[in-house]
Chains A and B, each alone.
Chain A
Amino acid sequence: MSETTSISKRSVGWMGLKRGHRAHPLEWLVEKGIFIVSLSAIVMVFLIFLFVAREALPIFLGTMNSASVQNVIPVADMGKLTPAQLQAYLGLTPKQFADMDDETKKALMEVKVEEAKEASKDRDAAVNTTSWRYMLRPFQWSGYSKPVYIWQPVSEIQKYNIVPLLIGSLKATLVALLFSVPLALGAAIYVSQLTSPRKREFLKPAIELLAGIPSVVLGFFALIVMATVLQNVFGYQSRLNAFVAGIALGLAIIPVVFSIAEDALTSVPRSYTQAALALGSSKWQAAWKIALPAAIPGVFAAVVLGFGRAIGETMIVLMASGNASIVSWNIFDSTRTMTATIAAELAETVFGGQHYRILFMLGVLLFVVTFVSNFMAELVINRLKLKLEGKQ
């Protein structure tokens, strides 16, 4: 713009008006940039799913085979295989294969022949334990008297049944929900309906402060303090079990359930409760009969989100659940969850191996479960919002 004042512009009158939208090129660029950056959230969700599923893909496609008894190639035929075939047969990564010299490769082939001889004595060895049938359904392994679900990746015949882990996750989550939902809901009703606004200003942040405690601290507290106390009170066998982990898990999700339920209850239009009060009902009747039913969708969403949070929690269950992968519905038994399994075992796996891929598959499972529960909760909350806006 010119340096003379805007008064000179007035002499120009209305002439500068028709210059079209003067979209300054820099501004246009910046605004496009803003749009592109904000797509990052979508991109991230995709990438997460993509790259976790990528590592687990062979399991989903059923292309992995853990059976020890496979086609054994005699050592003498080593020269007949292409390098790629040899690498696949020996189960090596490209890097390992490239670094190895021929003597070592030969020795490995001999080892394979030996293994095959021994393994053929055990009929279990012919089983592909990474197929879906063995991951989900019980099987009677040799040495057992009946079909069982076993997760035992570190053994000669690796067993990858994920049912014990699913049950473990569900047990701990159930305990957590049973413990935390009544408490969080009760507190939400109290804080939003039955106390003065001044007390609310203090109580609400106080409870939400619980969310500020890292889960590893809650796990530590459960392991060191709560486990002993609860065992003295209830007198059960294993010190670390689904019950202890579930209670600690419940503490972790109380703030989540409380926040959302309290928001839902507070956004029930005050006119409803005031109408009830004006008609002579007591505060609790208004809360119980008017506010709560109106906030049911929000409360439902809160519970669903709490469930999602609990099932995805890792450190607390890793430290407090005992980590025994057994199938039992007794909450006082030591148990192991999907999340703890991933956390505990991934470091020990061979990159690209079956164990590694199955752990990633568990990750995909967790992602899908929380995705679905989040989606449902969001649908419910959106419908609630529309209803409130429609009514108003």
Chain B
Amino acid sequence: MTETTPPRIKVNAPVSAPAAPSSAPPAEKPLIETEKLSLSYGSARALKDIAIQISEKLVTAFIGPSGCGKSTLLRCFNRMNDLIDNVHIEGLIRIAGHDINSREVDVIELRKRVGMVFQRSNPFPKSIFENIAYALRLQGIKRRHELEAIVESSLRSAALWDEVKDRLHTSALGLSGGQQQRLCIARAIAIKPEIILMDEPASALDPIATAKIEELILELKQEFTIVIVTHNMQQAARISDYTAFFYLGELIEYDRTARIFTSPAKKQTEDYVTGRFG
């Protein structure tokens, strides 16, 4: 480092797990693993030889400048990239030991276990109750009292119950942006997935709503494994246990969050987290 070093970003105290050595794979049991994962849209390479292990019941953040492939990688985990024509995937993705791209895997079942929250909240144009009940009915849950019980518990887990308990049957589109996003989170957790993928969930929200969502994530972490893509580095520093830095489709560095933000191993990482580019 030749120039004066810009101020470091403040990092919260790391989470419960013991500190691991600074070299790559974390010690906790990996739930998601990839090996030499490459993805291309037609002839354009979006991901190059990604090898990453994501641990159970932790928050892992993907950071990097726009177009670096972090969202693309996220969408690999629940095979949402299948919806795009011309996508070609090489390499292995394992979740709980199963290769999720193999022919034997039922992608519908996969998506019930790997939930997703999108950048722009997308509640169905139905009532708040129906938004969550829709997902439950897909599972075969039909009885009214069961539906009501799970809807309530999901809304509570999403810290939305108190605000909407009196208007469960009004349209979800009447909620504010932040509330809609929390509804989407409630909807995603209602079916009790193992993993929740979040693609820039707070990027369209104001700071107060963002703070609420971040609080929510820290709570949800006790029950779910969370992978969050964010372009907001401070957010990653605030809420994640592990952080992966991507650049132009490659995984540059992956380590405990504290490390990444205080003493990253690669210069590129340091340049990014200190704001020299991006």
- A→B interface (CB under 8 Å): 1-3, 5-7, 9-10, 13-14, 16-22
Q: Is the interface of A mostly helix, strand, loop or mixed?
A: loop
Q: Which 6 A-B pairs have the closest CB atoms?
A: A1-B140, A14-B96, A18-B104, A19-B106, A22-B106, A6-B139
* A6, A10, A20 interface centre (most CB from chain B within 10 Å): A6
**Contact A17 B140, beta carbon cutoff 8 Å:** no
Q: How far is the CA of A142 from the CA of B97 in the complex (A)?
A: 95
Contact partner, A5, options B109, B113, B146, Cβ 8 Å: B146
Q: How far is the CA of A14 from the CA of B105 in the complex (A)?
A: 11
Assuming A5-B141, A6-B192, is B95 touching A14 (CB within 8 A)? yes
Q: Which residues of A contact B140 (CB under 8 A)?
A: 1-2
Contact partner, B192, options A3, A9, A18, A22, Cβ 8 Å: A9
* A9, A10, A14, A16 interface centre (most CB from chain B within 10 Å): A14
Q: How far is the CA of A10 from the CA of B225 in the complex (A)?
A: 14
* A/B interface sample: 10 pairs, CB < 8 A: A1-B139, A5-B149, A7-B192, A14-B113, A17-B110, A19-B104, A20-B104, A20-B106, A21-B106, A22-B109
Q: Which residues of B contact A10 (CB under 8 A)?
A: 192, 194
Contact partner, A17, options B106, B191, B192, Cβ 8 Å: B106
Q: Which residues of A contact B150 (CB under 8 A)?
A: 5-6
Count residues of B near A (Cβ-Cβ below 8 Å). Answer: 26
Q: Which residue in chain A gives the minimum CB-CB distance to B150?
A: A5
How far is the CB of B162 from the nearest CB of chain A, in Å?
A: 23
Q: How far is the CA of A18 from the CA of B98 in the complex (A)?
A: 8
Q: How far is the CA of A10 from the CA of B103 in the complex (A)?
A: 23
Known: A1-B139, A17-B96, A20-B105. 18 other contacts (CB 8 A): A1-B141, A3-B143, A6-B191, A6-B192, A7-B192, A9-B192, A10-B194, A13-B194, A14-B97, A17-B98, A18-B102, A18-B105, A18-B106, A19-B104, A20-B103, A20-B106, A21-B103, A22-B106
Does B108 touch A at the CB level, under 8 Å?
A: yes
- B→A interface (CB under 8 Å): 95-98, 100, 102-110, 113, 136, 139-141, 143, 146, 149-150, 191-192, 194
Q: How far is the CA of A18 from the CA of B104 in the complex (A)?
A: 5
Q: How far is the CA of A21 from the CA of B79 in the complex (A)?
A: 14
* A3, A5, A17 interface centre (most CB from chain B within 10 Å): A17
Q: How far is the CA of A1 from the CA of B137 in the complex (A)?
A: 10
How far is the CB of A3 from the nearest CB of chain B, in Å?
A: 7
Q: Which residues of A contact B104 (CB under 8 A)?
A: 18-20
**Contact B109 A17, beta carbon cutoff 8 Å:** yes
Q: Which residues of A contact B139 (CB under 8 A)?
A: 1, 6, 9
Q: How far is the CA of A20 from the CA of B194 in the complex (A)?
A: 20
Q: Which residue in chain B gives the minimum CB-CB distance to A23?
A: B106
Q: How far is the CA of A4 from the CA of B105 in the complex (A)?
A: 24
Q: Which residues of A contact B97 (CB under 8 A)?
A: 14
How far is the CB of B211 from the nearest CB of chain A, in Å?
A: 30
Q: How far is the CA of A19 from the CA of B105 in the complex (A)?
A: 6
How far is the CB of A148 from the nearest CB of chain B, in Å?
A: 61
How far is the CB of A28 from the nearest CB of chain B, in Å?
A: 13
How far is the CB of A189 from the nearest CB of chain B, in Å?
A: 37
How far is the CB of B220 from the nearest CB of chain A, in Å?
A: 15
Q: How far is the CA of A1 from the CA of B192 in the complex (A)?
A: 16
Q: Which residue in chain A gives the minimum CB-CB distance to B149?
A: A5
Q: How far is the CA of A202 from the CA of B70 in the complex (A)?
A: 46
Q: How far is the CA of A10 from the CA of B115 in the complex (A)?
A: 14
Q: Which residues of B contact A18 (CB under 8 A)?
A: 98, 102, 104-106
Q: Which residue in chain A gives the minimum CB-CB distance to B99?
A: A18
How far is the CB of B149 from the nearest CB of chain A, in Å?
A: 8
Contact partner, B109, options A2, A3, A6, A19, Cβ 8 Å: A19
Q: Which residues of A contact B107 (CB under 8 A)?
A: 21
Q: Which residues of A contact B136 (CB under 8 A)?
A: 6
Q: How far is the CA of A90 from the CA of B118 in the complex (A)?
A: 79
Q: Which residues of A contact B106 (CB under 8 A)?
A: 16-22
Q: How far is the CA of A345 from the CA of B111 in the complex (A)?
A: 65
Q: Which residue in chain B gives the minimum CB-CB distance to A16?
A: B109
How far is the CB of A7 from the nearest CB of chain B, in Å?
A: 7
Q: Which residues of B contact A16 (CB under 8 A)?
A: 106, 109
**Contact A17 B113, beta carbon cutoff 8 Å:** yes
How far is the CB of B43 from the nearest CB of chain A, in Å?
A: 16
How far is the CB of A343 from the nearest CB of chain B, in Å?
A: 47
Q: Which residues of A contact B143 (CB under 8 A)?
A: 3
Q: Which residues of A contact B191 (CB under 8 A)?
A: 6
How far is the CB of B104 from the nearest CB of chain A, in Å?
A: 5
Q: How far is the CA of A223 from the CA of B220 in the complex (A)?
A: 77
Assuming A3-B143, A14-B96, is B194 touching A22 (CB within 8 A)? no
Q: How far is the CA of A2 from the CA of B136 in the complex (A)?
A: 13
